[in-house]
Chains A and B, each alone.
Chain A
């Protein structure tokens, strides 16, 4: 009975979403503002319905209601309770419900904070979000209903994919979806501006915190995915240029361009058309990501759905969204998009250069991700694009990006001179050069150049950020007080840029300095890896709640002193009959020591993978810093001031 209530609530939510679209549309067409007022309560009620529907699905998982096909396929009585909850979004149907719920959550937040907007714009924003919701709820209810009953109900479930029985999966998808879906808000804003034919500076100020919030969630989601792959797949890789990873990375890149372009539109009134295009692009790529992951066209860890009808459905949504919004852009764009002026040497120019570089990076990744699919769909053969393509092209594009970042965060708006910039930033440039050269001498091996260039760029970014801080604070009566009284958006920018530098350094140092070996080892054997000695001490049996495991005990010594003791496992999940590698990792700030069991060979001999991973944590710590920076920027006072004093803020925006 309870699942039927859940299904009913989903249908009710669909009806409410339709109200949320139709009432504002009719109201605007007929010029009756009373109709607009229906959008807000409908959106709120829709959120409540979806939250309750989601709760009924969680309930079905918790009580092991295997009469639901979705539960039977993805859970088991032996599955620990926290994984039964996360199994709700562990496969296709449930993750769509989560998608819809998160969209309704974002819409709710918009309706709670839209009093500062002109009524018609707020109504169109809510209506556009409602339209997205209608599409996804229709998709879920007609092709992938999580509440469908299976007859007869099996006595026990088929268990959750063991790869997904992990803390990383509990948090990774919700974060990622918060990011993906969050870009629907700036998208809805862009559409509203185009539909109503006005794009004021207040528009960008209003869209900024939303775009920043979506971006910071996506940053965390991607970093979590990378970290999860690193420790859960058991071979120490943290990024594979897998199509599904690319699918989340492309909206992130365009989202990054969007938050920077929005800053220019907000402060200077320039780049309006570009900003609108980026807002459309970031959300379209989020939809493309959903299509790639959900349609089953991809072969990857994430591709659970294999029903072609689903693929066609999402492709239709994607086509309507991209086609519709771009047509609207072509039709209404010229009316709303008069830009500001700036000279060739100015912060605007550097930001534009970086926007373009991010867009080009996105395009190259899109080419490598989608081209094989198109070739396959046309029946021209099966191809795949190797990671070296992505590494080379993306790596090269990051060089001018990092260089322009340093200049851009320092340059003045509207007009600056190269002489002044050089004078201010020569120390930063010197520091970067010295750091790069030092590293080129210290590091050997094929990746020496990568490491040297990467470190030089990282130092350049950090040094130019510090120079900027110095310039803002040094001349003051009390430099320290000045430092702490900087606006949050400035602090956020500095922290996020340092995080970006940290990630660059982490990637380059990991690539250049890590050592890994595949070895045959039996208990009693030891292998020397750099300065570390890995000893295989013993092998034991271990029984988990729903798996059986061989557990090895490794001790690691450095100069005869014990550094760490690791317990990698090879698990066998009984229900699915799947083996799984559980790596043993000693995490550290400058290095990880990583042991994973390969396969049993003969007797107690195993193939074993040993890794020394230099600075690998920096990649994710950098991402955390970026997200913290995004949070600081999103909560800056200027956005809250607009909330309380819309009229005054509007005036100020027009003056500047």
Chain B
């Protein structure tokens, strides 16, 4: 092999390696993209049923039900048009309250209940996550999220 060919081979291999790496990175990226849906989107069947997504809305007053023996909790999330029931097991963030806007990450179950892996609420009393504000149709103050997740 001439030096020239050898160099071409090395460059070719490098390019191929970079191509494969880029493809793998983009695939990982795509698999971990989470889309945001409002309760109306979910009820309209727009949300995926096989992959994780984020849902946001206001916690309906009086809807928070806790199990008495475990840390399971169930509450209803509303965008003032439609509602979705969210189930979560674990500790809720400090500022989770009825009437507050929150965001949850998780999957939609076959029973139409959203199984949350993580619940996010904000460290401020006048909180409205921007996604929730938009889903509700009016802009709200941007804000801090705190997490509940393991």
Q: Chain A: residues with CB nearer than 8 A to chain B? A: 161-163, 233-235, 237, 240, 296, 298-303, 306, 360, 364, 367-368, 371, 381-389, 392-393, 516, 518-520, 576-581, 598-599, 601-602, 607, 609
* B148 in complex: contacting residue of A235, A300, A580, CB < 8 Å: A235
Residue contact B31 to A607, C-beta cutoff 8 Å: no
Q: Which residues of A sit under 8 angstroms from B70, Cβ to Cβ?
A: 520
Residue contact B146 to A233, C-beta cutoff 8 Å: yes
- A382→B129 CA distance, assembly (Å): 12
- A367→B25 CA distance, assembly (Å): 10
Residue contact A578 to B35, C-beta cutoff 8 Å: no
Residue contact A389 to B28, C-beta cutoff 8 Å: yes
- A601→B72 CA distance, assembly (Å): 11
**B49 in contact (CB, < 8 A):** no
**B145 in contact (CB, < 8 A):** yes
Residue contact A579 to B35, C-beta cutoff 8 Å: no
- A124→B45 CA distance, assembly (Å): 61
Q: Nearest B residue to A570 by beta-carbon distance? A: B94
* A382 in complex: contacting residue of B52, B66, B131, CB < 8 Å: B131
Residue contact A388 to B32, C-beta cutoff 8 Å: yes
Identify whether the interface residues of A are mostly helix, strand, loop, or mixed: mixed
Known: A364-B25, A386-B52. A576 touches B35 (CB 8 A): no
Residue contact A520 to B94, C-beta cutoff 8 Å: no
- A381→B143 CA distance, assembly (Å): 19
Residue contact B142 to A296, C-beta cutoff 8 Å: yes
* A599 in complex: contacting residue of B68, B92, B144, CB < 8 Å: B92
**B69 in contact (CB, < 8 A):** yes
Residue contact B142 to A299, C-beta cutoff 8 Å: yes
Residue contact A385 to B71, C-beta cutoff 8 Å: no
Q: Chain A's nearest CB lies how many Å from the CB of B3?
A: 12
**B149 in contact (CB, < 8 A):** yes
Q: Write the B63-100 contact mask toward A (1 if CB under 8 angstroms, else 0).
A: 00010111100000000000000000111101110000
- Besides A235-B148, A385-B32, 18 new A-B residue pairs in contact (Cβ under 8 A), listed by A number: A234-B94, A235-B147, A301-B123, A301-B144, A306-B142, A360-B21, A382-B36, A383-B36, A384-B33, A384-B54, A385-B33, A389-B31, A518-B90, A520-B69, A576-B124, A578-B94, A579-B94, A580-B94
- A453→B147 CA distance, assembly (Å): 30
- A487→B52 CA distance, assembly (Å): 53
Residue contact A389 to B71, C-beta cutoff 8 Å: no
**B141 in contact (CB, < 8 A):** yes
Residue contact A519 to B71, C-beta cutoff 8 Å: yes
**B34 in contact (CB, < 8 A):** yes
- A602→B134 CA distance, assembly (Å): 35
Within 8 A of A (CB), among B13-65: 21, 25, 28-29, 31-36, 52, 54
Residue contact B91 to A599, C-beta cutoff 8 Å: yes
Residue contact B150 to A518, C-beta cutoff 8 Å: yes
Q: Which residues of B sit under 8 angstroms from A303, Cβ to Cβ?
A: 142-144
Residue contact B144 to A601, C-beta cutoff 8 Å: no
Q: Write the B108-150 contact mask toward A (1 if CB under 8 angstroms, else 0).
A: 0000000000000001110001110010000001111111111
Residue contact A237 to B141, C-beta cutoff 8 Å: no
Residue contact A233 to B125, C-beta cutoff 8 Å: no
Residue contact B143 to A299, C-beta cutoff 8 Å: yes
Known: A576-B125, A598-B91. A306 touches B144 (CB 8 A): no
Q: Chain A's nearest CB lies how many Å from the CB of B39?
A: 14
Residue contact A578 to B123, C-beta cutoff 8 Å: yes
